[in-house]
């Protein structure tokens, strides 16, 4: 249950991986033959499947040490101590998750993240995230390493031969933990916990996500090499197999009732650290070799999803300047802060994908250069819609206008009633098909209040469900930041 203790991580992407990263591991490694990554395995989802025998469990326990040595040889990470192991049941796994969710602080963070995702329209407003996670776990759990207890947990209902590739993945986590302390390395402070969060605090979201992809990308690379080793192949000599396996991670979701029926954003987010993390790892292995790909990346980790999705930006040492952060406490004096976090390159890729399609996303998301959101509730009105401020920066004004147009078009999908408002010489836009790109300031009224989308040079400012004085204060801070 990779990094289960990090379930509370709060950001637009949720990074629910903290509790369920392992959930998709088996979905595409369930077949020992890499050329058939999408072939269904009914044993995986059949809860009436027999438990493995004591003899099978004993053999599986013995294989831990051999697989641990394989992982150590692949990564160069030393074995500093024996990895403890235990056999666990499906109910114990689900109970572990439910107890994690029961933590008051974690549950509150989870609730905030879920509502922000719904505000952006990335998940339906009637989607029950917690219910989905429990059902997915019962269906897809494959095995996990717990950095808190230092145990690798083997599953008593999955055939040992299927668990061995997963063990290569999980035991890589054990080696990472022994050398770098995963719990400390992965945990970053939630910016929503800071009284006056600044640019560095907001960036913690992206740092945490990027590090998750490093952890999972390395473990997935070892898993692939373990699967290919009997044929004398490796991740570097067989790129076509790697591509097939990555495709199987999404295609194989059809074999999972829960994952197949989940919103697209959830499916993509669940596989992000595996697919993009694997690509990131392969790029480093190819250009830098094993030592830098495995050990040095922990010492000098990537800091954003952009660096994971575009490894060349990491290799070149790119550092994007942080976006300005206004005095939120003063601007939102009539509101109670609900949440705050970064919106990285992966997040905007998903936003564009959802509202304009995959091709539009591929063309535009690489031009992202920064973004974050601030969500708030009016003081004394718990029933009021969630207010939202979102700012993003792009490589060129043209791309800022393109993104603003896509975001504006999303309003017609997210709200029942959308009416354009005329302001000065700006004509109201009431026909979504009339939006080609946006420049300047545009206003719409919805059942949840006004929405402003404003393009200034290479930046896009969005406010939703905020009162006029607050929006004007944000615009002044936004415009001031562009002239300083």
Q: pLDDT per residue over 383-440, tens digit each?
A: 999 999 999 999 999 999 999 999 999 999 999 999 999 988 888 999 998 898 899 9
* One domain for residues 341 and 282: no
Instruction: Report the b/e string of 126-135 with b at 16+ CB within 10 A.
Output: ebebeebbbb
Cα 416 from Cα 406, distance rounded (Å): 18
Q: Identify any residues that bridge with 329 across adjacent strands, giving them in sequence order.
A: none
* One domain for residues 119 and 263: yes
**How many domains does the chain fold into?**
2
160-188 pLDDT, tens digit per residue, is 888 899 899 999 999 999 999 998 898 66
59-75 pLDDT, tens digit per residue, is 999 999 999 999 999 99
**Residue 12 pLDDT > 70:** no
Provide the residue range defining the domain that includes 457: 328-483
- Stretch among 173-177, 256-260, 278-282, 337-341 having the lowest mean pLDDT: 256-260
* One domain for residues 333 and 301: no
* One domain for residues 336 and 479: yes
* One domain for residues 65 and 103: yes
Cα 101 from Cα 78, distance rounded (Å): 34
Domain annotation covers residue 276? yes
pLDDT at 41: 34
* One domain for residues 256 and 361: no
459-482 pLDDT, tens digit per residue, is 999 999 999 999 999 999 987 654
Cα 425 from Cα 456, distance rounded (Å): 17
- The secondary structure element, H or E, covering residue 451 is strand 449-456
Average pLDDT over residues 289-317: 96
Domain annotation covers residue 375? yes
Average pLDDT over residues 36-57: 56
Domain annotation covers residue 414? yes
- The token pair that represents 183 in the structure block: 């719990």
Per DSSP, the three-state class of 2 is coil
When pLDDT is cut at 50, 70 and 90, the band that residue 107 belongs to is: low
Could you give the dihedral angle defined by the CA atoms of residues 129, 130, 135 and 140, in that order, rounded to the nearest 10 degrees? 80
Its sign, for the CA torsion 336, 337, 339, 343, is: positive
* One domain for residues 351 and 401: yes
pLDDT at 174: 97
CATH number at residue 382: 3.40.1000
Between residues 270 and 213, the one the model is more confident about: 213
pLDDT at 42: 33
User: What's the count of helices (H) and strands (E) in the chain, helices before strands?
Assistant: 22, 10
* Residue where one domain finishes, among candidates 258, 290, 315: 315
Cα 118 from Cα 113, distance rounded (Å): 9
* Residue where one domain finishes, among candidates 315, 342, 362: 315
Domain annotation covers residue 244? yes
Domain annotation covers residue 323? no
pLDDT at 106: 60
pLDDT at 313: 98
Average pLDDT over residues 375-379: 96
Average pLDDT over residues 128-149: 79
End-to-end C-alpha distance for the chain, whole angstroms: 47
CB 10 within 8 Å of CB 112: yes
When pLDDT is cut at 50, 70 and 90, the band that residue 131 belongs to is: confident
Average pLDDT over residues 295-316: 96
Domain annotation covers residue 274? yes
Between residues 373 and 382, the one the model is more confident about: 373
**Residue 484 pLDDT > 60:** no
Tokens 């999404």 locate to 250
* One domain for residues 310 and 374: no
Enter the DSSP assignment of 32: S
- The token pair that represents 240 in the structure block: 């076509």
- Stretch among 33-37, 126-130, 262-266 having the lowest mean pLDDT: 33-37
Using CA atoms, how far residue 396 sits from 296, 366, 368, in Å, is 34, 11, 9
Percent of the chain with pLDDT over 90: 57
pLDDT at 252: 47
* One domain for residues 301 and 204: yes
* One domain for residues 177 and 125: yes
Cα 87 from Cα 57, distance rounded (Å): 8
**Residue 375 pLDDT > 80:** yes
Average pLDDT over residues 150-159: 89
pLDDT at 6: 34
Domain annotation covers residue 322? no
pLDDT at 192: 58
pLDDT at 480: 62
CB 358 within 8 Å of CB 213: no
Q: What secondary structure does DSSP assign to 342-393, as a single string?
A: E--HHHHHHHHHHHH-HHHHHHHGGGEEEEEEEEEEETT-TTSPPEEEEEEE
* One domain for residues 236 and 346: no
Average pLDDT over the chain, rounded to whole? 83
Q: Tell me the whole-structure pTM to 2 decimals.
A: 0.87
**Residue 25 pLDDT > 50:** no
- The token pair that represents 132 in the structure block: 């989905």
When pLDDT is cut at 50, 70 and 90, the band that residue 96 belongs to is: confident
Average pLDDT over residues 196-222: 88
- The secondary structure element, H or E, covering residue 160 is helix 160-180
* One domain for residues 65 and 187: yes
pLDDT at 433: 87
Average pLDDT over residues 344-360: 96
Domain annotation covers residue 435? yes
Q: Identify any residues that bridge with 460 across adjacent strands, giving them in sequence order.
A: 392, 455
When pLDDT is cut at 50, 70 and 90, the band that residue 35 belongs to is: very low
* Residue where one domain finishes, among candidates 283, 315, 347: 315
pLDDT at 238: 82
């Amino acid at each position: 249950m990779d990094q289960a203790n990090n379930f509370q991580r709060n950001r637009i992407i949720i990074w629910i991986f903290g509790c369920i990263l392992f959930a998709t591991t088996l979905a595409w490694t369930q077949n020992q033959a890499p050329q058939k990554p999408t072939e269904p395995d009914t044993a995986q989802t059949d809860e009436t499947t027999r438990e493995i025998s004591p003899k099978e469990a004993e053999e599986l326990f013995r294989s831990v040490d051999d697989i641990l040595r394989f992982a150590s040889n692949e990564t160069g990470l030393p074995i500093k101590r024996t990895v403890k192991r235990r056999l666990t049941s499906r109910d114990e796994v689900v109970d572990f998750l439910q107890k994690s969710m029961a933590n008051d602080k974690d549950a509150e963070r989870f609730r905030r993240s879920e509502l922000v995702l719904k505000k952006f329209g990335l998940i339906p407003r009637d989607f029950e995230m917690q219910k989905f996670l429990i059902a997915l776990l019962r269906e897809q759990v494959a095995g996990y390493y717990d950095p808190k207890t230092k145990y690798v947990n083997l599953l008593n209902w999955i055939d040992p031969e299927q668990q061995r590739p997963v063990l290569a993945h999980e035991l890589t986590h054990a080696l990472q933990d022994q050398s770098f302390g995963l719990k400390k390395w992965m945990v970053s402070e939630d910016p929503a916990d800071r009284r006056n969060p600044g640019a560095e605090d907001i960036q913690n979201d992206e740092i945490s996500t990027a590090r998750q992809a490093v952890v999972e990308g390395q473990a997935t690379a070892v898993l692939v090499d373990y699967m290919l080793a009997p044929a004398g192949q490796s991740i570097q000599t067989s790129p076509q197999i790697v591509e097939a396996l990555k495709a199987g991670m999404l295609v194989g979701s059809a074999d999972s009732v829960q994952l197949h029926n989940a919103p697209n954003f959830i499916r993509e987010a669940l596989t992000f650290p595996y697919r993009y993390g694997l690509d990131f790892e392969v790029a480093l292995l190819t250009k830098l070799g094993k030592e830098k790909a495995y050990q040095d990346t922990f010492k000098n980790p990537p800091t954003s999803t952009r660096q994971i999705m575009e490894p060349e930006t990491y290799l070149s040492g790119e550092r994007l300047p942080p976006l300005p952060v206004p005095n939120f406490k003063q601007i939102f004096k009539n509101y109670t802060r609900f949440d705050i976090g970064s919106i990285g390159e992966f997040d905007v890729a998903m936003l564009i994908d959802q509202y304009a399609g995959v091709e539009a996303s591929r063309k535009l998301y690489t031009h992202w250069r920064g973004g974050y959101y601030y969500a708030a509730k009016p003081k004394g009105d718990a029933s009021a819609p969630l207010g939202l401020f979102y700012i993003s920066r792009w490589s060129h004004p043209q791309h800022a206008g393109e993104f603003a147009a896509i975001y504006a078009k999303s309003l017609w999908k997210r709200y029942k009633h959308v009416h354009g408002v005329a302001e000065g010489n700006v004509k109201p836009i009431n026909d979504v098909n009339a939006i080609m790109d946006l420049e300047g300031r545009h206003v719409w009224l919805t059942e949840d209040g006004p929405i402003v989308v404003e393009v200034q040079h290479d930046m896009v400012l969005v406010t939703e469900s905020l009162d006029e004085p607050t929006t004007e204060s944000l615009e002044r801070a936004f415009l001031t930041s562009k002239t300083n």
